[in-house]
Amino acid sequence: MEQIRHIRDILGRLNFSPDCEVRASELKEIQWYVVYYYYNHGLALTPALDFYREALNSIRDDLESKGNSAGIAVVDAALEALKALSDLVEGETPDSTSDLSGYRCFESRFGTFPNYFHSIDDLHEKFPKLFREFKNAVEKMFPYIEDLDTQGYSTVREPTLVMSLRAVFLGLIEENYRGEEGNHNNWPNCCLRIFGRTVNILGLYILDKYFHDIVNNNTFIECLSEILQELTTLEKAVGRRMFPNGQGARIRDALHDILDSLDSLFEKFRNLRIAYDQAVVDIGENGALFGPRFDE
């Protein structure tokens, strides 16, 4: 029948050969992206954390020289809050001393993509709380830093003018603070403020790379639609012909089962696209977690 020839032509446009090696290669490339970007964004925060650590230690040394035990206790609390923040970031960042290749480092650190997205979620949930606790601890130091200065930075490598520590810390606590010294642009402050959003954008980027070829496979969905149309036409044609010994009924039953399976496949593919698009909106605009969306 003509419909069978049409279906063969349609199937010829699809590549059903095993693509396990191709997919494995694609996943290794994505794993490399994960390690490269995840590591570099985590690494970018390290100098900012070092900046605050050095600043706090210098404040502590000053207070110690003055015998100010109350001030030392306040600074120690800020150092503890900073340590909690550092432990979170460094614990979620691939080992910078690793000599493994990108995908092997991925396997060593995360193991699977669900684990990676759960790591993103861990940062997303914990970082804002720890950052807020650090800022609260820093704010309590203000009575002890009135006469202290530090070197500001516009980037990690570009020191700017000397700033008062109070101005630097105000720039950390109040996002829109604009002091006479321009400290609102102090690089460590900006780095900490945007870290959570940066990690979220990175997760969306990896999510897109993981699902892009699947959810954007228009050739597959077009061919599937054409096959469904041809099979429906074939089913009607079989119903109009006479077959001996009940063959017609068996053919119609077989075609009906195939149509049901293809309808189900078409629906699952359509639902995957809808779920992916909704996940991007939920994560990017509504702050939803990656893990549950990826697991779906």
At 278, list the tokens.
Answer: 């909704």
The dihedral sign for the CA sequence 25, 30, 35, 36: positive
- How far apart are the C-alpha atoms of 75 and 145, rounded to whole Å? 10
Residue 18 carries which DSSP code?
-
The 8-class DSSP code of residue 68 comes to -
Alpha-carbon gap, residue 74 to 173, rounded angstroms: 16
Percent of the residues in the chain that have a pLDDT greater than 70, as a whole number: 67
pLDDT in tens, 24-36: 677 777 777 777 6
For the segment 229-273, what is each residue's pLDDT rounded down to a tens digit? 777 777 777 666 666 666 667 777 777 777 777 778 778 778 888
Question: What is the spatial distance between Cα 285 and Cα 142, in angstroms, rounded to a whole number?
Answer: 36
CA distance 72 to 75: 5
Cα angle for residues 101, 103, 106 (degrees, 5° grid): 105
pLDDT of residue 155: 44
Structure tokens at 206: 């990896």
Span 47-100, pLDDT tens digits: 888 888 988 998 899 889 889 999 999 999 999 999 999 888 876 555 544 444
H or E segment to which residue 202 belongs:
helix 187-215
On whether the CB atoms of residues 187 and 159 are closer than 8 A, the answer is no
Strands 149-155 and 158-164, bridge-based pairing: antiparallel
In this prediction, residue 154 carries a pLDDT of 45
Q: In angstroms, rounded to a whole number, what is the distance separating the alpha carbons of residues 8 and 25?
A: 30
Backbone φ and ψ of 14, nearest 5°:
-105, 145
Distance CA 55, CA 58 (A): 5
Say how far apart CA 63 and CA 145 lie, in whole Å: 9
- Residue range 278-296: mean pLDDT, rounded: 78
**DSSP states along 216-233:** T-HHHHHHHHHHHHHHHH
Contact 231, 259 (CB under 8 A): yes
Other C-beta atoms lying within 10 Å of the C-beta of residue 128: 12
Beta-carbon contacts of 3 under 8 Å, excluding residues fewer than 6 positions away, are 230, 231, 233, 234, 237
Cα-Cα end-to-end distance for the chain: 41
Per-residue pLDDT tens over the stretch 175-233: 665 555 444 456 778 788 888 888 888 888 888 877 776 777 666 677 777 777 777 77
Residue 125 is encoded by which pair of tokens?
């949930």
The closest alpha carbon to 146, from 228, 40, 66, belongs to: 66
Residue of higher predicted confidence among 183 and 285: 285
Q: DSSP letter string over 176-196?
A: T---TT-GGG-HHHHHHHHHH
